[in-house]
Structure 1
Amino acid sequence: MRCSFSNVAAVREDLMKMNLTMLKNIILLLVVLLFSVSCSVISREIRNEAMAPMPFKTLIENAGQYTGQTVILGGFILSTENKADETLVSVLQTPLSSMDYPYDKDQSEGRFVVVHKGFLDPEVYRQNRRITVAGTIAGFRTEQIGSCPYACLTIESRQVYLWPKNLHRNYYWDDPYWRHDPFYWYGGPYHDPYYGGYYRAYRYYPSLRYAPVYPGFHPYDPYWDE
């Protein structure tokens, strides 16, 4: 009888281990599916057609052989110019995060022009706004276009995403529950944003209560929008 009880206990323990393993696998699968669906602001259909990411300089140097192919580029708007039936947007190219979020102007490798069929309001698509564009390579335009004084790579837009300009507001000193809490972290009621001490390196970090979470985005970005 003792052997029977021990066998039942062993089987029960094995089943519990199997169930735990299956649960872990299901959670992992759900996480992978979540990131595969929401990892970019560009539609999956267009992303499947787009070329693999490459250095912008390489793309410019070999633009002739890539003409007509779809790329995903992004950066900061330099100017927006309306024509009779299209809008020309000059963009300072920057690297993109895993969510295709433009960042770090210092790493720019040039400029490109987005040709969008239809009207884009220059008061909305203003200078220094972040933009991500999926479109086909259309070679170069030799005439000066907006803030592109030389022959710039031209992209005919298929999908345009303008990033919210208030994406990174609400720093610690904008949080009413930060400055006025005498027991926040340590050091008494002296919560000036330039207060030294151990946490000085984090004085620019956005409020954890408001900051959005984007895969591949580092919280310290010197180009936060105003």
Structure 2
Amino acid sequence: MKRTLILIGCLFWLTACSSLPDDLVSEDHNAEVMDNYQQWVNTSPDSVIDVRMGGVISKVTNLKDKTRIEIVNLPISSSGKPDITQEPQGRFIAYVKGFVEPMTYTKGRLITVVGKSEQPETGKVGEYDYTFPVTDAYGQHLWTIETTTYVENDLMMGGCFRGGFRCGAYGYGPSRTQVIQQVK
């Protein structure tokens, strides 16, 4: 019985950790949402589909009634988080209704959007001509990167003094540091 409760608790915890934020849920709960960048790029430009894409903000331009956000695409997890361990797959444009604060939606910030696909736009990345897939976003979520540093010390066994350094129960030997970055 105790094992069953622990198993149910672990499954609940894992489900809670991978749930999609409310602002990234499709407006049409029955629609399949595309989250694969290459499939989206290869879809007919006349198809209107729901897409959920994420990545790194490259540029923000506030227009009269909406905001244009250029995003460097990264694959996303089932919880919508951009995978910072992957290489960028391309770029896309997300239009968001109204004004967004450029200091909040700053270059380099992680974002995921959900919306309807639109006709692609042509533009430039530097001097290079580029065709951007476009989405009219009805939901967006900003992410942060949390850095955790773990320091592990090897406890030296035995009681001794060496060069003024106490070995034993109160002394420590070499240490290892591990830095982990997680999208939150």
**TM-score of the alignment, normalized to the shorter chain, above 0.5:** yes
User: Which residue is equivalent to 1:62?
Assistant: 43
**Structure 2: tracts of 5 or more residues without a match:** 157-170
Count matched residues: 169
Q: 2:155 aligns with which of 180, 186, 194?
A: 186
**Is the contact made by 1:78 and 1:147 (CA closer than 8 Å) also made in structure 2?**
no
Q: Structure 1 CA distance, aligned partners of 2:38 and 2:72?
A: 13
**Structure 1: tracts of 5 or more residues without a match:** 1-19, 179-183, 207-218
Q: 1:123 to 1:45 in 2, by over 3 A?
A: closer
Aligned-pair CA distance for 1:63: 3.9
**Is the contact made by 1:79 and 1:90 (CA closer than 8 Å) also made in structure 2?**
yes
Aligned-pair CA distance for 1:77: 0.6
User: Which residue is equivalent to 1:116?
Assistant: 96
SS of 1:127's equivalent? coil
User: Which residue is equivalent to 1:107?
Assistant: 87
Structural mapping, 1:18-167, within 5 Å = 20=1, 24=4, 28=8, 31-32=11-12, 35=15, 39-43=19-23, 45-46=25-26, 48-53=29-34, 55-67=36-48, 69-104=49-84, 106-144=86-124, 149-164=129-144, 167=145
User: 1:117-175 deviations in whole A, cap 9, x for unaligned?
Assistant: 101111111111100101110121224589995220111111110112xx3234236xx
User: Which residue is equivalent to 1:172?
Assistant: 150
Aligned-pair CA distance for 1:205: 3.2
Q: 1:104 to 1:45 in 2, by over 3 A?
A: closer
**Is the contact made by 2:155 and 2:173 (CA closer than 8 Å) also made in structure 1?**
no
Q: Which has the larger radius of gyration?
A: 1
Aligned-pair CA distance for 1:29: 8.0
Q: Structure 2 CA distance, aligned partners of 1:122 and 1:138?
A: 23
Q: 1:90 to 1:107 in 2, by over 3 A?
A: same
**Is the contact made by 1:78 and 1:91 (CA closer than 8 Å) also made in structure 2?**
yes
CA RMSD, 1 decimal: 3.7
User: 1:177-221 deviations in whole A, cap 9, x for unaligned?
Assistant: x7xxxxx44355466xxx5xxx5xxx3334xxxxxxxxxxxx6x7
Q: Structure 2 CA distance, aligned partners of 1:93 and 1:50?
A: 22
Q: Which has the higher helix share?
A: 1
Aligned-pair CA distance for 1:41: 1.9
Amino acid of the residue matched to residue 101 of structure 2? D
Report the TM-score when normalising by structure 1.
Answer: 0.60
Identity in percent: 21
Report the TM-score when normalising by structure 2.
Answer: 0.71
